[in-house]
Amino acid sequence: MANPKVFFDISANGEPLGKIVMELRKDVVPRTADNFRALCTGEKGYGFQGSSFHRGTGGKSIYGESFADENFTLKHTGPGILSMANAGPNTNGSQFFLCTATTGWLDGKHVVFGKVVEGMDVVKKIEKFGSDSGRTSKKIVVDASGEC
């Protein structure tokens, strides 16, 4: 069975930037991949649609407030890697990050669960609105999300 693919349609201050398509590694981290997939579809009544990119706290998983680290098999090998943000061991929820460089120091601390397969140009556009503080210079929003 093929790994699922999901998408985000992204805008900056209401102006469309494009679509990001991500493959989720259900074959390696099934619980983590299914959490992200369900948050993309909104099938549990909540999800990513309408959310903004930020650095902060909050959110919940489909399993409750948080869930355990599944494994650290996949590594932060370069641009396009999709990984869980957390507040320490076993605190995964809905927050994630997309790598724009190799970030090997995160291996063993953050669960990698996918990668960008289309739309890396959109990720690079988002990166240009970032800052060292984590605040974006424009409001970056997931206008639509779902499963491909």
Question: What does the pLDDT look like over 77-92, one tens digit per residue?
Answer: 999 999 999 999 999 9
Spatial strand order in the sheet of 96-98: 96-98, 81-84, 112-118, 15-24, 5-12, 140-147
Distance between alpha carbon 18 and the CA centroid of its chain, in Å?
16
The answer to whether 59 touches 52, Cβ cutoff 8 Å, is no
Structural domain includes residue 139:
no
Residue type, 100: T
Average pLDDT over residues 40-68: 88
Residue type, 69: D
Structural domain includes residue 26:
yes
Average pLDDT over residues 11-24: 98
Number of domain units in the chain: 1
Percent of the chain residues topping a pLDDT of 70: 97
Average pLDDT over residues 57-71: 88
Structural domain includes residue 95:
yes
Can you give the CATH number for the domain in which 30 is found? Answer: 2.40.100.10
Structural domain includes residue 148:
no
Both tokens assigned to 53: 């990119």
Partners of residue 9 on adjacent β-strands: 19, 144
Structural domain includes residue 16:
yes
- Gyration radius (Cα) of the chain, Å: 14
pLDDT at 58 over 80: no
Output the pTM of the full model. Answer: 0.94
Instruction: Compute the distance between CA of residue 123 and CA of residue 93 in angstroms, rounded to an integer.
Output: 22
Residue 129: give the domain boundaries: 5-133
Structural domain includes residue 140:
no
User: In terms of pLDDT, which residue wins out, 64 or 32?
Assistant: 32
pLDDT at 56 over 70: no
pLDDT at 55 over 70: no
Average pLDDT over residues 54-71: 84
Q: State pLDDT tens for residues 89-127.
A: 999 999 999 999 999 999 999 999 999 999 999 999 999
